[in-house]
Amino acid sequence: MNESAALADEDWQAWVGRKETIRERIAPDRVAALAATLGVEGHHAPGAALPPGWHWIFFNRFVPRQELGADGHPKRGGFLPPVSLPRRMWAGGRLTYHKPLTIGSEGVRESTILKVEAKSGRAGKLVFVTVSHSISCDGAPCVTEQQDIVYREAAAPGSPVPAATPSPQHGAWSEEFRPDTVLLFRYSSLTSNGHRIHYDQAYAQAEENYPDLVVHGPLTATLLQSFAEKHAGKPLKSFAFRGVSPLFVSSPFHLEGKGDGHALDLWASGPGGALAMKASAEV
């Protein structure tokens, strides 16, 4: 282990085991706003079940302006460790659905930092933070989740784009999805996500070296979960996903998948058949 990684481990291990609890009502108007944003009907009556992935619009702190960093995220430190690497993203996660969250009821999310790991590779220095979430409603466990957050070095201007990973072939189902700037703005607002790569094109291009505004990883994962339930005809028991390459507002992408009555393989395919997100689900 190099010196910087050793120092990182020594400093950041104090965050392992750190806990946070957030209580929030699963407000019908917020759920209705997400339904309108995604262009789907229903899903917002009090007492109804919250669709999978929609819990991500809740339990997000809306911090004061002076507590934001240059990227629009909350400043480093607090519940998450103060990793100094500038690029921060949600890399993937694993979810188990025990019972649906009830719209209109109070939800409680208890979070724990499970581990912090510093690594280095072709992409430079990386720090991975794994956070577990347990969400209950009316005293009953509803969702358990592990979330992977990765911190990376900034991409140098003009640096080559990594070679694309091709998407799987011969999916049984395929649907095109066309993102737009209003969708990204509204989803950022609903999830209290101030990360400027999703709505500030000049920042995304000049500071983070992206060609255009970036589609939220959790948004893609939410779309894949709805896609899975639609084609399986059954509610999800579990869902796991990993981001492979970013999707951008300027290009449509495809939700694709295949499976049987129990297990499904799912993916999001970007321009040219590049794999953007890989996922699996059980129903």
Lowest-confidence region among 37-46, 89-98, 132-141: 37-46
Confidence grade of residue 110 (pLDDT, cut at 50, 70, 90): very high
Average pLDDT, the chain: 91
- Overall CATH class of domain 161-283: alpha beta
Q: Which pLDDT value is given to residue 156?
A: 66
Residue 75: per-residue pLDDT: 83
Q: What is the mean pLDDT of residues 99-120?
A: 95
Give the model's pLDDT for residue 3.
39
Confidence of residue 6 (pLDDT cuts 50, 70, 90): very low
CA distances from 186 to 51, 56, 149, 208 (A): 18, 14, 22, 21
Q: What is the pTM of this model?
A: 0.92
Q: What percent of the chain has pLDDT over 90?
A: 69
Give the single-character DSSP code of 232: H
The upper half-sphere exposure of residue 125, i.e. CA atoms within 13 Å in the direction of its Cβ, equals 16
CA 124, CA 136: separation in Å to the nearest integer?
Answer: 38
Q: How confident is the model at residue 162 (pLDDT cuts 50, 70, 90)?
A: confident
How does residue 120 score in pLDDT terms, banded at 50, 70 and 90?
confident
Enter the DSSP assignment of 168: P
CA atoms within 13 A on the CB side of 107: 30
Amino acid at 47: G
Helix axes 217-232, 28-38, angle to 10 degrees: 80
Q: Which CATH class is domain 1-154?
A: alpha beta
Closest CA to 253 of 224, 225, 229, 230: 224
Q: 213 pLDDT band (50/70/90 cuts)?
A: very high
In eight-state DSSP terms, residue 178 is -
Cα 280 to its chain centre, rounded Å, is 15
Every domain of the chain and the residues it spans: 1-154, 161-283
Q: Does 255 score more than 70 pLDDT?
A: yes
pLDDT confidence band for 123 (50 / 70 / 90):
low
How confident is the model over 248-272, as a mean pLDDT? 95
d(CA 75, CA 66): 9
Least confident of 1-5, 185-189, 222-226, 264-268: 1-5
More confident call, 13 vs 185:
185
Residue 48: per-residue pLDDT: 95
Model pLDDT, residue 8: 47
Tell me the HSE value of 213 on the side-chain side, using a 13 A CA sphere. Answer: 19
In this predicted structure, what is the pLDDT of residue 283? 94
Q: What is the CA radius of gyration of the chain?
A: 19
Mean pLDDT of 174-188: 97
* Mean local confidence (pLDDT), 85-96: 91
* Per-residue pLDDT at 263 exceeds 90: yes
Q: What is the mean pLDDT of residues 242-255?
A: 96
- Write out pLDDT tens, residues 17-63: 999 999 999 999 999 999 999 999 877 889 999 999 999 999 998 88
SS3 content of the chain, % helix, strand, coil (to 5): 25, 35, 40
**One fold for 1-154 and 161-283:** yes
